[in-house]
């Protein structure tokens, strides 16, 4: 699973953010608990399900279902079977293989099927359930009505435990099965599911039944179904079909976006030593999706296909999303977490793998660039709440998982790392695993005890926060470093008694690089104490640069006060991107230092990799305008749109008349969406007289994922410019953000915006009513409650009225 970063939401601090959910764990013994306690017990082995669905109704969000189940009893005297089945499933009948009717009872999400007589251990049981499903759209299945650029469709989402809301099953990952999905769909629609398409049968009235067969076992949360009018674009990897299913209107955009897939399959197959393990690979785009979901052999993806201009901005979709979900076909689908406290085994590897792909394709800089981005995310999450990778509800499994695995790969070297990863995939092929299982495979493969690494990085939280000082002894030709770890194990237990541990000492090998007039001196050492002293000998002349942890092999923070000359030298000569980013942050704290300004300006305009130029451009406003403006002028002509966008955004912070002029120039002439969006934001900050005209143009400028329109909406919300209320209202049918801007205005007391929002609850378009309800969540609770109570009696759309009634009840309960 993967969601994009909420970049836009972070910008729009005035607008409401979705609440973060976290699950607390009850047991303080994390290492023991993670590996077993969270797994679920059951007394049968689920073997196979044939899931047949028909008569989909988008108005009543309903369908008719039949599920035939095969399972094997795992104990003597088994007389009843406990399945998970959502409350929206009304069981019409249960029938044994013999044809005999079976008794059932259904309470909340639990369905009990009573067998005619007890069966013994190892006995096979077959039975069929017929049911009517009335789905609360969004739990298990999401039904979407047609709207502009979005065909009518439905899609499933199982992870973590929502598939039982649309078919009765064992809804936990520690039991794998094979399955078939038969879906009968209206004329013009396709049904996409897992495994091979074995049959397509025409029915009455143009209906079609698609028969999919997933013949290799996987977890039930990975069962998936999408029903939509779709265009199919065919590709392949050797003899494995690789299919892209997109809206007909998007069919010309599919190849450029998705055709990277066979090459990614190739690289992942070679790295893991496991050729792509499924019958086919499909990627299907749907509306209102949170990002991507790795349903086995049939990934579901959001419908944000980039147009040709958007590729200049390195779309997240191709850079991260496609390789992330593909990686899950090995890590998550082929070997699956045994329970939800080990989900990092799925997500950490899936987030790690794209960096490995990009290294294969483009080398070390793109690899470091990828993980530097993960590092920024990691630090942001870590600052909110440090949680171990292996813990229930861990908040940091994506970036920290990627970074810890990258560190492990560094530590072991690629050959040993991939041999061990192959061992792990082989030991648990088509099965499940825990964090401890990963350790066992790595130890068995490498022959090296790695429990210390697991204890520090998987079962504990935090990271080493180094404070380093150095002193040079000219007579002895030595440089002495004192590296102190300053992190403190100060976390408190939560309300359940769970307390996570931050190690006060992390152990790792470290390399020191000392630059001198006569060349670099390199020293390897072992971090083994909370305060370590490392003496580097053979430093014949005064250092010109000192790099602690050369190559950035340790996940860390670093506090190391150095002369500007050292930093400037390192910025020019250190190939590592994390190191350069660290240096840039140090230099940006020296606004009055001409040498620092010159080093940053030089990096912004001539560093050998765009990420360094981009980050340097983003640091320029710290320095005097006479340094910043010439460097930003050059950066705005960079070949990389990321550098130009960073420069355009930075202009907004430079208080100089030339900045506004440059921003207007970028807005008027740049071809990149992200550069124009950034320039619009800068103009809104720099040019009170000229901004309204640019914002008005921005509102009606089409761009990928509404990048430019969103920049205009953010500028309106930030400047609190209520003259745009009517223009914003005109966009409420196009995308969700306009309603949220109205919500921000209403929360600040603007009655015009509030009146429009209230009226939008009666809009004839269901999606507008839905987005309006979401936007109202930005209002303070008391205001929201009174708005909803006033609106409720007049609402004529049943869906909105029901949703409003639920909201009122929930808000009243909170008071």
Instruction: Kindly list the residues in this chain that would bind Zn ion in the complex (CB under 5 A).
Output: 1-2, 347, 350
Six-digit token string for 141: 């299945």
Buried b (16+ CB within 10 A) or exposed e, 468-494: bebebeeeeeebbbebbbebeeebeee
Nearest approach in angstroms of CB 732 to Zn ion is 32
Nearer to Zn ion, 428 or 676 (CB): 428
Nearest approach in angstroms of CB 350 to Zn ion is 4
Nearest approach in angstroms of CB 792 to Zn ion is 39
- Strands 44-57, 176-185: parallel, antiparallel or unpaired by DSSP? parallel
Query: What is the spatial distance between Cα 676 and Cα 664, in angstroms, rounded to a whole number?
Result: 9
Q: Tell me the sheet residues that pair with 351.
A: none
Is the Cβ–Cβ distance between 328 and 278 less than 8 Å?
no
Nearer to Zn ion, 290 or 452 (CB): 290
Nearer to Zn ion, 344 or 771 (CB): 344
Nearest approach in angstroms of CB 387 to Zn ion is 17
Provide DSSP, 284-298: EEETT--SEE--TTE
SS3 of 371, please? helix
Is the Cβ–Cβ distance between 391 and 30 less than 8 Å?
yes
- Strands 103-107, 62-73: parallel, antiparallel or unpaired by DSSP? unpaired
Nearer to Zn ion, 326 or 501 (CB): 326
Cβ count near 455 (within 10 Å) = 14
Instruction: Select from 52, 294, 283 the least CA-distant residue to 185.
Output: 52
Give how far the C-alpha of residue 134 lies from the chain's centroid of Cα atoms, to the nearest Å: 30
Nearer to Zn ion, 313 or 347 (CB): 347
Nearest approach in angstroms of CB 324 to Zn ion is 6
Nearer to Zn ion, 292 or 315 (CB): 292
Nearest approach in angstroms of CB 402 to Zn ion is 11
Instruction: Give the containing element (helix H, strand E) for 482.
Output: strand 478-485
Nearer to Zn ion, 280 or 328 (CB): 328
Nearer to Zn ion, 177 or 301 (CB): 301
Buried b (16+ CB within 10 A) or exposed e, 163-181: bbbbbbbbbbbbbbbbbbb
Nearer to Zn ion, 378 or 548 (CB): 378
Nearer to Zn ion, 15 or 296 (CB): 296
Query: What is the spatial distance between Cα 593 and Cα 581, in angstroms, rounded to a whole number?
Result: 18
Nearer to Zn ion, 347 or 436 (CB): 347
Nearest approach in angstroms of CB 55 to Zn ion is 33
Buried b (16+ CB within 10 A) or exposed e, 32-61: ebbbeebbeeeebbbbbbbbbbeebebeeb
Is the Cβ–Cβ distance between 629 and 654 less than 8 Å?
yes
Nearer to Zn ion, 325 or 611 (CB): 325
Give how far the C-alpha of residue 552 lies from the chain's centroid of Cα atoms, to the nearest Å: 24
- Strands 176-185, 231-237: parallel, antiparallel or unpaired by DSSP? unpaired
Nearer to Zn ion, 354 or 681 (CB): 354
Nearest approach in angstroms of CB 271 to Zn ion is 18
Nearest approach in angstroms of CB 388 to Zn ion is 19
Six-digit token string for 504: 């006060």
Q: How far is CA 306 from CA 252, 255, 617, in A?
A: 11, 11, 26
Q: How far is CA 465 from CA 462, 632, 725, in A?
A: 9, 33, 48
Axis crossing angle, helix 610-617 with helix 641-651, rounded to the nearest 10: 0
Is the Cβ–Cβ distance between 53 and 410 less than 8 Å?
no
Nearest approach in angstroms of CB 396 to Zn ion is 14
Length of the chain in terms of residues written? 815
Nearest approach in angstroms of CB 328 to Zn ion is 6
Nearer to Zn ion, 350 or 597 (CB): 350
Nearest approach in angstroms of CB 400 to Zn ion is 14
Nearest approach in angstroms of CB 85 to Zn ion is 27
Is the preceding peptide bond at 160 cis, omega within 30 degrees of 0?
yes
Nearer to Zn ion, 276 or 398 (CB): 398
Query: What is the spatial distance between Cα 109 and Cα 86, in angstroms, rounded to a whole number?
Result: 5
Nearer to Zn ion, 2 or 513 (CB): 2
Nearer to Zn ion, 298 or 725 (CB): 298
Provide DSSP, 271-338: HHS----SS-EEEEEETT--SEE--TTEEEEES----GGGGGG--HIIIIIHHHHHHTTTBTTTEEES
Nearer to Zn ion, 381 or 484 (CB): 381
Nearest approach in angstroms of CB 320 to Zn ion is 10
Is the Cβ–Cβ distance between 257 and 172 less than 8 Å?
no
Q: What CA dihedral angle connects 632, 638, 640 and 642, to 10 degrees?
A: 10
Nearest approach in angstroms of CB 173 to Zn ion is 14
Nearest approach in angstroms of CB 22 to Zn ion is 18
The radius of gyration of the chain's CA atoms, rounded to the nearest angstrom, is 29
CB within 8 A of 684, min separation 6: which ones?
652, 691, 694, 695, 715, 718, 719
Residue 460 has phi, psi (to 5 degrees) of: -110, 175
Q: How far is CA 591 from CA 595, 599, 624, in A?
A: 10, 12, 7
Sheet with strand 103-107: strands edge to edge: 78-84, 110-119, 103-107
SS3 of 655, please? coil
Nearest approach in angstroms of CB 269 to Zn ion is 19
Six-digit token string for 757: 């929002």
Nearest approach in angstroms of CB 721 to Zn ion is 39
């Amino acid at each position: 699973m993967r969601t994009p970063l909420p970049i836009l939401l972070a910008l729009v601090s005035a607008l409401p953010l979705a609440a973060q959910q976290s699950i607390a764990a009850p047991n303080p013994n994390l290492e023991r608990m993670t590996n077993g306690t969270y797994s679920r017990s059951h007394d049968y082995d689920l073997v196979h399900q044939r899931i047949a669905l028909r008569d989909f109704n988008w108005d009543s969000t309903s369908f008719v279902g039949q599920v035939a189940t095969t399972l094997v009893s795992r104990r003597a005297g088994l007389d009843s079977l406990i399945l998970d089945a959502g409350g929206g499933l009304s069981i019409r009948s249960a029938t044994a293989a013999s044809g005999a009717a079976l008794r059932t009872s259904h309470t909340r999400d639990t369905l009990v099927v009573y067998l005619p007589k007890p069966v013994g251990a190892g006995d096979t049981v077959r039975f069929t359930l017929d049911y009517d499903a009335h789905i609360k759209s969004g739990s298990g299945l999401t039904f979407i009505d047609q709207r502009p650029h979005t065909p009518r469709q439905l899609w499933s989402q199982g992870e973590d435990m929502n598939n039982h809301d649309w078919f009765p099953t064992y809804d936990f990952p520690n039991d794998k099965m094979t399955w078939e999905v038969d879906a009968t769909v209206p004329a013009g629609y396709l049904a996409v599911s897992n495994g091979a398409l074995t049959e397509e049968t025409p029915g009455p009235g143009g209906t079609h039944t698609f028969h999919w067969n997933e013949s290799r076992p996987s977890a039930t949360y990975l069962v998936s179904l999408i029903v939509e009018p779709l265009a199919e674009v065919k590709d392949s990897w050797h003899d494995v079909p690789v299919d892209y299913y997109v809206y007909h209107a998007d069919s010309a955009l599919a190849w450029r976006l998705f055709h990277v897939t066979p090459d990614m399959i190739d690289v992942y197959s070679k790295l893991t030593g496991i050729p792509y393990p499924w019958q086919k690979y499909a990627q299907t785009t749907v509306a209102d999706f949170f990002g991507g979901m790795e349903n086995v052999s049939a990934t579901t993806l959001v419908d944000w296909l980039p147009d040709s201009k958007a590729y200049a901005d390195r779309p997240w979709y191709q850079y991260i999303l496609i390789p992330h979900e593909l990686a899950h076909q090995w890590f998550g689908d082929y070997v699956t977490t045994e329970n939800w406290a080990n989900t990092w085994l799925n997500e950490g590897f899936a987030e790690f793998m794209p960096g490995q792909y990009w290294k294969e394709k483009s080398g070390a800089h793109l690899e470091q660039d990828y993980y530097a981005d993960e590092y920024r995310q990691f630090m942001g999450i870590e600052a909110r709440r440090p949680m171990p990778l292996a813990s229930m509800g861990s908040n940091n499994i994506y970036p920290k998982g990627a970074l810890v695995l990258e560190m492990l790969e560094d530590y072991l070297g690629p050959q040993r790392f991939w041999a061990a990863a192959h061992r792990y995939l082989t030991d648990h092929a088509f099965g499940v695993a825990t964090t401890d299982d990963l350790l066992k495979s790595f130890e068995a493969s490498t022959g090296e005890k790695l429990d210390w690494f697991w204890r520090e990085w998987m079962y504990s939280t935090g990271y080493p926060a180094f404070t380093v000082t150095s002193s040079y002894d000219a007579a002895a030709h030595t440089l002495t470093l004192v590296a102190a770890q300053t992190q403190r194990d100060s976390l408190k237990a939560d309300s359940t008694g769970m307390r996570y541990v931050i190690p006060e000492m992390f152990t790792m090998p470290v390399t020191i690089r000392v630059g001198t007039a006569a060349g670099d001196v390199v020293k390897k050492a072992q971090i083994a104490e909370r305060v370590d002293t490392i003496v580097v000998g053979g430093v014949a002349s005064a250092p010109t640069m000192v790099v602690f942890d050369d190559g950035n092999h340790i996940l860390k923070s670093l506090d190391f006060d150095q002369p500007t000359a050292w930093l400037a030298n390192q910025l020019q000569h250190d190939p590592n991107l994390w190191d350069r980013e660290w240096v840039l942050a140090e230099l940006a704290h020296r606004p009055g230092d001409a040498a620092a300004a010159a080093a940053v300006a030089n990096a912004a305009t001539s560093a050998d990799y765009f990420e360094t130029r981009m980050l340097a451009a983003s640091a320029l406003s710290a320095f005097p305008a006479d340094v910043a403006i010439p460097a930003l002028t050059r950066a705005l002509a960079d070949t990389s749109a990321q550098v130009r966008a960073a420069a355009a955004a930075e202009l907004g912070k430079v208080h100089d008349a030339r900045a506004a002029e440059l921003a207007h120039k970028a807005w008027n002439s740049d071809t990149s969406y992200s550069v124009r969006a950034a320039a619009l934001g800068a103009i809104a900050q720099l040019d009170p007289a000229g901004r309204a005209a640019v914002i008005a143009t921005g509102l009606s400028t089409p761009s990928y994922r509404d990048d430019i329109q969103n920049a205009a909406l953010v500028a309106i919300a930030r400047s609190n410019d209520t003259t745009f209320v009517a223009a914003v209202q005109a966009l409420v049918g196009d995308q969700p953000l306009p309603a949220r801007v109205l919500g921000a205005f209403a929360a600040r007391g603007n009655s015009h915006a509030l009146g429009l929002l209230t009226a939008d609850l009666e809009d004839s378009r269901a999606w507008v009513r839905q987005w309006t309800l979401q936007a109202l969540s930005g209002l303070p609770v008391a205001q929201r409650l009174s708005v909803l109570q006033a609106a409720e009696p007049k609402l004529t759309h049943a869906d909105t009225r029901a949703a409003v009634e639920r909201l009122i009840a929930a808000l009243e309960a909170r008071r």
